[in-house]
Amino acid sequence: MSAAEARTIVLFRHAKADWPQVTDHERPLAERGRKDAAEAGRRLLDTGVAVDLALCSTATRTRETWKLAVHEFPHRPKTIYEERIYEASPGELIALLNETPDDVGNLLLVGHNPGVHGLAEILAGSAEPDAGERMDRRGFPAAAFAVLSFEGPWKSLEPRVATLRDYWAPSD
């Protein structure tokens, strides 16, 4: 893939987590979260985006979300569990995405709010009307995802260079 080709980023917030007596990093999914994660996987498949690489936070709830969602895919993409995603700001997430090799066309990031929602808003210089309206109305609840596209090398990813193409949340 050349550096100038179109790229897709899927920003996926972990599903609903439970609140047992464990550290925040170790919180597992709640029962509703397990159902929503699988449904998100089916909806991700419906977008037609063939994910080349998944970057997933090391937190228990993100790993469980990704495991349930990717189970719906016909082929599991390469997955990297990245501790820098946990508690990352949108700027830190952009810096991480800037490190992506240019042979990756479609990347999925499984992370946390407020970073994932903030990143979607910061990257989107424009939006498909329906997707933008749904994200504005819904925010970025647990198990939601946004699909953005941009052109150029990953190192050129910066605020306002992407278009929000699709958005889904469990109540949609």
All domains of the chain in start order, with CATH: 6-168 (3.40.50.1240)
Q: Give the global pTM.
A: 0.96
pLDDT tens by residue, 44-88: 999 999 999 999 999 999 999 999 999 999 999 999 999 999 999
Contact 150, 126 (CB under 8 A): no
Burial track 122-151 (b if 16+ CB lie within 10 A, e otherwise): bbbeebeeebbebbeeeebbbbbbbbbbbe
At 171 the pLDDT is: 83
Residue 95 Rama label (left phi>0; alpha psi -120 to 50; beta):
alpha
Contact 99, 154 (CB under 8 A): yes
**Sites in the chain below the pLDDT cut of 50:** none
**What does the alpha-carbon distance between residue 9 and residue 33 come to, in Å, rounded to a whole number?**
22
In the DSSP assignment, the letter for residue 100 is S
160 annotated as ligand-binding: no
**What does the alpha-carbon distance between residue 32 and residue 154 come to, in Å, rounded to a whole number?**
35
At 1 the pLDDT is: 56
As given in the structure block, the two tokens for residue 69 are: 């969602």
